[in-house]
Structure 1
């Protein structure tokens, strides 16, 4: 696939998932968080499967792949978003963002290497460290040091950390399936299965989850839900699956270094939020980390060795 198309897909994913932060925050103000996420994913999954059926791209999953699909769906959706929203009750959003977004690309690379879907490189190690540091610099003002000393906050942090690990594990497990089946079909299957199971968990663990299904949500929550279904899931997850297949989990996961910068920028441009020099430095570090991760060793070595003004980077999205 041409590099320009893969680059466009990656940038769209970063923008869309950068904006989902705002939509999630708006929605869970009035709707139980787990049920809000469950209905979003279940609806998006059903729509994606209907689309694949219409295009005759729906396939029968072979018995040997069915278990992998189920486990991947649980890890990427149910066991990710359930603990994430539960844990965020006990820690600030800034603390959760630093932890979850820092761990996601690290975990993707670690599982990728362990499951032989990725290879280790000095450039990737540098990118992961730089990105994690950049996230810390960006969100440090929102991190409460007092909360970290409280026992319930530690449990919340553990839940948020697990969410990142779970999502990464499922993403890497999914890659072999993406080489054998249509990516839209797998996106629909994953979000539908994960969303339905997450909905059942919400009914058990969220006291007002059942009631939320019987009342009309307010306009703000409905608008946020529609945005998450259409852009966050129908478009976002489909692109994410394609990128996992085409450029590998670690490179696809570098969206975690770009999306927060987009979210902060949107808040400044349209929400009237203030931005500090420290935030600008943090975002610059994260964007540089994503660039290094996407371009690999050439991003580090080529500027030191190039001659005659030749292009420093090419084929940055080459498949593993």
Structure 2
């Protein structure tokens, strides 16, 4: 491999590392945070503060202020990915869905990404559709486990969050977003504002001062989970295929489950461990299918690799 090729590959590797391990840890951190903060308030503060810090930094570095069209596009993607995608996961964990189970459920994102990609004209192989079918079986198994069977609203919220995140991931490559890291900053600012408005409308209130652990959780989510990891994700969405960018979903659950077991006393039943294996196998099939399948239909929009 040439030095120039290696230099172009290193940012992708660093971004994937951030998604695989930093994002895997955020499920546990969210669980800790919602013990002190109302869920939508915490998520809103997380994204708004991170977005304002990033926007200010980029302005000082001379980056161009987004146009109105770019703000609107960033708002759309920010609402899909962050307000709905992440916000509903935060609410679900507040409803006592274990952090590891939430991560396993979110692992279905690449499967839904594949389905939405098909709507936009990207052909899919039989291997990929086989992965989707296996993934659906995994979702059914997971919902029969003890952690979700008694919490249907939590399961529904995470399913809706996964659908929204997948659709936003595919759509982001087809709208005019601000350049570079400014896209993530704009998306987080708008998503944060929407979440804080939703928090206000829903009547969320702080009944007491958050604990030191609650403040530490919020700080971690702002810096590591938002400024670093989300910027890495936005970079990957513009650099690789959506199915590759969302491949973090088969590493995050393992990280989240192990952290939840080790630090939060969580546990998975035998059926839930089986569901984890089934879902991760399905995501792997979809990812491999995207890597080896070459579109044969002429005239389609060129797909990133």
TM tier relative to shorter chain: 0.7 to 0.9
Deviations 1:257-304 (A, max 9, x none): 22011112234556677778777665555554444433336669xxxx
TM-score by length of 1: 0.75
Aligned twin of 1:165: 163
Matched, 1:17 2:23: yes
- Alpha-carbon distance in structure 1 between the residues aligned to 2:225 and 2:42: 13
| Residues 58 and 139 of structure 1: CA distance in aligned 2, closer, same or farther (over 3 Å) | farther
Whether 1:243 aligns to 2:236 is yes
Preserved CA contact (<8 Å) 1:94 1:143: no
CA contact (8 A) 1:37 1:195 kept: yes
Equivalent residue for 2:53?
47
**Normalised by the size of structure 2, how large is the TM-score?**
0.78
Match of 1:143 among 120, 131, 147: 147
Is 1:295 aligned to 2:295, yes or no? no
Q: How does 1:1-320 map to 2 (within 5 A)?
A: 2-3=8-9, 5-61=11-67, 63-86=68-91, 92-93=97-98, 97=102, 100-116=105-121, 118-131=122-135, 133=137, 141-145=145-149, 147=150, 153=152, 156-177=154-175, 181-208=178-205, 211=206, 216-268=209-261, 285-296=278-289, 319-320=304-305
Aligned counterparts of 2:76 and 2:63: Cα–Cα separation in 1: 22
1:128-180 CA-to-partner distances (Å, cap 9, x unmatched) read 444555576678644353x36xxxx3x554433222222222222222347x6
Aligned equivalents of 2:275 and 2:154: distance in 1? 25
Encode CA deviations 1:220-271: one digit per residue, 9 max, x unaligned.
1011111111111011111111111122222222222220111122345566
CA-based RMSD: 3.5
Q: In 2, Cα distance between the equivalents of 1:269 and 1:279? A: 17
In the alignment, the residues of structure 2 paired with residue 256 and residue 298 of structure 1 have an alpha-carbon distance, to the nearest angstrom, of 16
| Length, aligned pairs only | 291
Larger CA deviation: 255-264 vs 158-167: 158-167
> What runs of 5+ residues in structure 1 fail to find an aligned partner?
301-317
Q: 1:223 to 1:205 in 2, by over 3 A?
A: same
Cα 1:67–1:276 change in 2 (3 A) is closer
Give the Å deviation of 1:4: 5.4
Q: 1:99: Cα distance to partner? A: 7.9
Contact 2:30 2:93 survives alignment (8 Å): no
Unaligned runs of 5+ in 2: 294-302
Alpha-carbon shift at residue 35 of structure 1 (Å): 0.3
